[in-house]
Structure 1
């Protein structure tokens, strides 16, 4: 009898856990749109264009996920959040996910109860200075006045770097990236520090971008990616496989221009990716052709990268370690199988 009761209790717990794990996806479907937390305006990553439409590398993740769920990349409500606002907003349920240049750290998962789903951009912290200073290395920044954004990993990284190299600094902490640029251009600091990708983006917003350089030094590991709340495995997996789907699509040559050929492909890996074999999408709670929907909406990983932040964009950031593992980088996704 005890065994039977134990089995029944276990089954009841499993059913309850399964129901709980489907909560976010069901909420999103019932609402009819995804609510995605993004930055307050970071060119190339997430920013509204002249018509007010949100675009960027991080925005493509949100639109790709909306395409996977609704077959419509426009069914997204974008909520701009500062660094200080982002994690409380996610924890409280004001947004379904974050896709806004956030660094994956142990404390953010263990203490804040969040989960980073995948790394869609391998970054590192750097420094931007005026070209007129003729500085070529961060090791020449002793006695600098450095602007840094509050609520980011950059604040502690900067202190550690200067201390480790026997240099002194005056740290100027500001609430938003817009404030960083304003203070820097007004001469309230002579150095600006944040993730290298963000430095390229912020330089574009300056009056004379060509007067400023990003130093070659990278002083930290900053793996960036979408974030969700803990306790919802189905939602975690779906967001994660939105990224993995885009990476696998690039690796297999499935793009916006080859998608029709991919649907007729005889290659086993491509057949699975586009949903013509297996029920992989259904296992995530969406259509089996979810990767096809994503690629049609925003392209594969490489297309999104180049269009928004890479060589084809105004930022012109080298692909570097964000190149596929098969092309000399470290970007890599598990297989669809």
Structure 2
């Protein structure tokens, strides 16, 4: 694999409707589109999924752009890589900055799969031809949440994630359960609680939730193990898991029964696969989370979720869930609650060059 050029584009696009959590509201999404071009002119695409401000993790679009431009790309310029795993291992010399690493590493995976004339799903060991699709309900009121659920039930989504926080948890879930007693729902807390809320969280056992995601601090593993011992609802860890080491420790400590794997959060597909493989051996369910992504990251998520250990529907909804027009063609679509896994080379989606150009705010080119 001989890289000839890397292009970084910072793009920005308004969401069709605001995305609400207790941490804030997202109305405009920035991201970094990575294009890695080899000496034969083949392009592989990745996406840096950090947000504009550090509300989800410490990384931002601007810090990721700096790390890619000034640290990671120079490493690639100085070191010949033969396989995407070589890039992941090379990047281990740099601490954290997982989203910056993932954007580049995943573009290299796409390039490698295209050069091999193989779908990305098959290259990484995927076994499914379609994956079950879940959706996030991120509304600012109960009536709005119920309206969203009704719409997505009609579209066939297989799992529903409800954003919760103290003051908007038991009552909201109780009313949703009253309308939808059998609906597969989970709660996502985004670290809104502490161990002092043990009784409050235990009360949510009443609703037969699939899981409660990241109830405690975003960097915690130990206190989650204490909480899991005190409640019946399975805990799923998200923000706490940024590496294979984190996942291994959380499983050994009994901090969770489920792990949300986001390749963009853990540094790319190499680390995501390592976490998946370990969880599969240990009988820990995993699912693929979302980051309000554009289509390139969504395409990578589809390939990742085709691995055999992904037993729970992920946050892989249709492109039109967030965007009037996505930057890929065709756009991701959901039919009867499922997304087809492409069998064409690479991520299996082309680039909507017109839309990409319209949304690009910054472009940087690096020659090799």
Q: TM-score higher than 0.5 here?
A: no
Greater helix proportion: 1
Could you say which structure has the larger radius of gyration? 1
Greater strand proportion: 2
TM superposition score normalised by structure 2: 0.24
TM superposition score normalised by structure 1: 0.26
